[in-house]
Amino acid sequence: MSKSASTSAVKWAQRAGGASADYKAGAMNTTKDQAQSAIAAKELYKLGVTNAIARGSYEKGLGKSGKAGWLNGIDQKGEANYQTGVMSEGARNKYATESARFDGARNAASSLPRGAKGSQANLARVAAVANALHAIKIA
Q: What is the pLDDT along the chain (139 residues), one digit of tens a residue?
A: 677 898 888 898 889 888 999 999 999 999 999 999 999 999 999 999 999 999 999 899 999 999 999 999 999 999 999 999 999 999 999 999 999 999 999 999 999 999 999 999 999 999 999 999 999 999 9
Q: How far is CA 48 from CA 4, 20, 36, 55, 83, in A?
A: 33, 29, 18, 11, 32
* Residue 76 main-chain phi, psi, to 5 deg: -80, -35
In contact, 101 and 132? CB cutoff 8 Å: no
Contacts of 132 (CB under 8 A, 6+ apart): 104, 105, 108
pLDDT attached to residue 3: 79
In contact, 113 and 121? CB cutoff 8 Å: yes
pLDDT attached to residue 59: 93
Using alpha carbons, select from 124, 125, 133 the residue that is nearest to residue 103. 133
pLDDT attached to residue 53: 94
Angle at 137 between CA 97 and CA 123, to 5 degrees: 110
